[in-house]
Amino acid sequence: MIETDLCIIGAGSGGLSLAAGAAQMGARVVLIEGAAMGGDCLNHGCVPSKALLAAAKQAHAMTSGATFGIAPVVPKVDFAAVKDHVARTIATIAPMDSQERFEGFGVQVIRAYARFTAADEVEADGQRIRARRFVIATGSTAAVPPIPGIDSVPYLTNETIFALRAAPRHLIILGGGPIGIEMAQAHRRLGVPVTVIEAARALGREDPELAAIALATLRAEGVEILEDAPVTALSGEPGAIVATLKDGRQVEGSHLLVATGRKVALDRLNLAAAGVEATARGVTVGADLRSVSNRRVYAIGDAAGGLQFTHVAGYHAGVVIRAILFGLPSRARTHHIPRVTFCDPELAQVGLTEAEARAAHGAALTVLRTEFAHNDRAQAEARTTGLVKVMVVGGRPVGASIIGPQAGELIGLWALALASGLKMSSMAGMVVPYPTLNDVSKRAAGAYFSPKLFDNPWVKRGVRLVQRLLP
Ligand SMILES: Cc1cc2nc3c(=O)[nH]c(=O)nc-3n(C[C@H](O)[C@H](O)[C@H](O)COP(=O)(O)OP(=O)(O)OC[C@H]3O[C@@H](n4cnc5c(N)ncnc54)[C@H](O)[C@@H]3O)c2cc1C
Ligand SMILES: NC(=O)c1ccc[n+]([C@@H]2O[C@H](COP(=O)([O-])OP(=O)(O)OC[C@H]3O[C@@H](n4cnc5c(N)ncnc54)[C@H](O)[C@@H]3O)[C@@H](O)[C@H]2O)c1
């Protein structure tokens, strides 16, 4: 029997952040991981997908230099070597998440799947762990839709696609969410024919105007994206898979990637033994991320049933650490959480989209827009596709949407503004270096004040009066 202050189940983005913080601040911590240290993000998610996208971007650059006077060439893609780059990236980052590093912090790491045996006890690898507090940080896995025939055809998920060493002859991707869209563009740029089949609207959570720009770019690069196209049956054999759509159309491909959303990983936990309530979305928690039915238990990251991002899992770790270590009240908020789909151009959002802001604030809403085409750096780099939209209520931003080069970097400024409740005057008053892409954000903020300054007869009268009086 191990007695400890804090037992964390799952050594992914959330569990690792919490374990490192709690142990370094003096708590006795047991961390239990059933598979690879680092969880989805490192092994099957963010890291491999961004490494693959980077290789794809390099390939694309070779085909798109004509504007600069550089003759396009068809890149020779060594698919296995691309995968070596992906594997190397994971291996280089892995020591940060390793068992040894965490043991160095004083964390007791157990490599096995954990299950609750009582309200205050879990079992893993034959050991019983009793703790003052438990944190469920078990993440999620690919949700596989119950399409007739799906069990009779081989399919890939995020856990298997990065291990493919040979380029698919034709990749069918089921689902046009962030995973589907990122994987579609990455594979297409590496020379793979790709068809995305989306049951509803691709990038359906994003501002439709911005999503349309991303989808148009993918289509122009040769990705076939079928929307409102539910699949009614899957058939075929390895290397020749057929998806039959509701309207009777058939799509044939060599490989099938299922990217239709996530299922929280709670099955192995035997939650009933601990009286921890959960739904298909995740552990039932309040804003404090504490189980509503067992106050010893918290849930963070994907398992908490909300936004599913690595930075959210890390943020959740910070929220619960306050309560668990210091007994202080703390609540997770969402209004300042950014998200990025790392297609090219990148698509980034923080706070409310235009439609959400209009529904919430009606006539009090002002929407500001600036296009990358008005940005000198974007012009110099011939990367002018995209725009920034800022939703403003009462002189403060309530949301920002960006599609364009480095949107994922640019959204950080607006995430800070929303988190800190900054006014538009602070954003407009900021001095950014010239020429940088960040000037699009400053320009958008400036647009909030331009009509008040430039189209205002009182300002003009005031200036004329002062000019008459000044010596
Ligand atoms: C392809 C893909 C790309 C993504 N890209 C991004 C991105 O660019 N940016 C971003 O912010 N997010 C991205 N995400 C989402 C991100 O990976 C997740 O939101 C994040 O990993 C969640 O962290 P977590 O700690 O909740 O869970 P995870 O990181 O999944 O960790 C959970 C861990 O718990 C372990 N576990 C499960 N059950 C048990 C048990 N009973 N006992 C012991 N251990 C257990 C698992 O083995 C796993 O290691 C991506 C996801 C995918 C699939
Ligand atoms: N860049 C990032 O931050 C990033 C990248 C990838 C994933 N993620 C995280 O992982 C989560 C999961 O990503 P995802 O893309 O798998 O899920 P998702 O839920 O975001 O999108 C799934 C898409 O599949 C569609 N779909 C559902 N069932 C279908 C079916 N039977 N046939 C065809 N289409 C179907 C849905 O309409 C939806 O558009 C994301 O929501 C996000 O939180 C983040």
> Would you put residue 139 in left (φ > 0), alpha (ψ -120 to 50) or beta?
left
Q: For position 345, what pLDDT does the model report? A: 98
Mean pLDDT of 107-122: 98
Q: Is 147 annotated as a binding residue?
A: no
3-state SS, residue 316:
helix
- Beta carbons within 10 angstroms of residue 267's beta carbon: 12
Q: For position 408, what pLDDT does the model report? A: 98
Model confidence pLDDT, tens digit, residues 282-341: 999 999 999 999 999 999 999 999 999 999 999 999 999 999 999 999 999 999 999 999
**Ligand 2 neighbourhood includes 179 CB (under 6 angstroms):** yes
Q: Is 138 annotated as a binding residue?
A: yes
Q: For position 424, what pLDDT does the model report? A: 97
For ligand 1, atom 48: residue with the closest CA: 39
- Nearest ligand, CA 178: 2
Ligand 2 centre to CA of 176 (Å) is 6
Ligand 2 centre to CA of 409 (Å) is 22
For ligand 2, atom 17: residue with the closest CA: 261
Q: Is 182 annotated as a binding residue?
A: yes
> Would you put residue 175 in left (φ > 0), alpha (ψ -120 to 50) or beta?
left
Domains of the chain: 2-37+98-141+263-326 (3.50.50.60), 150-260 (3.50.50.60), 338-454 (3.30.390.30)
3-state SS, residue 53:
helix
Model confidence pLDDT, tens digit, residues 185-227: 999 999 999 999 999 999 999 999 999 999 999 999 999 999 9
Ligand 2 centre to CA of 181 (Å) is 9
Q: Is 38 exposed, middle or buried (0-12, 13-18, 19+ CB in 10 A)?
A: buried
Q: Give the ipTM of the model, two decimals please.
A: 0.98
Model confidence pLDDT, tens digit, residues 342-355: 999 999 999 999 99
Q: Is 161 annotated as a binding residue?
A: no
Spatial separation of the C-alpha atoms in residues 266 and 128, rounded to whole Å: 19
Cβ density class 421-436: b for 16+ within 10 Å, e for less: ebbbeebbeeeeeeeb
Pocket test for ligand 2, best of 179, 196, 197, 264 (most atoms within 8 A of CB): 179
Spatial separation of the C-alpha atoms in residues 125 and 155, rounded to whole Å: 31
Q: For position 333, what pLDDT does the model report? A: 97
Lining ligand 1 with CB less than 6 A are 9-15, 32-35, 39-41, 44-46, 49, 113-114, 137-139, 158, 179, 265, 268-269, 301-303, 308-311, 313, 342
- Beta carbons within 10 angstroms of residue 219's beta carbon: 12
3-state SS, residue 11:
coil
Pocket test for ligand 2, best of 42, 228, 246, 309 (most atoms within 8 A of CB): 309
How many CA atoms are closer than 13 Å to the CA of 18, on its beta-carbon side?
Answer: 39
Nearest Cα neighbor of 3 from 100, 130, 109 is 130
**Ligand 2 neighbourhood includes 113 CB (under 6 angstroms):** no
Rounded to two decimals, the pTM is: 0.97
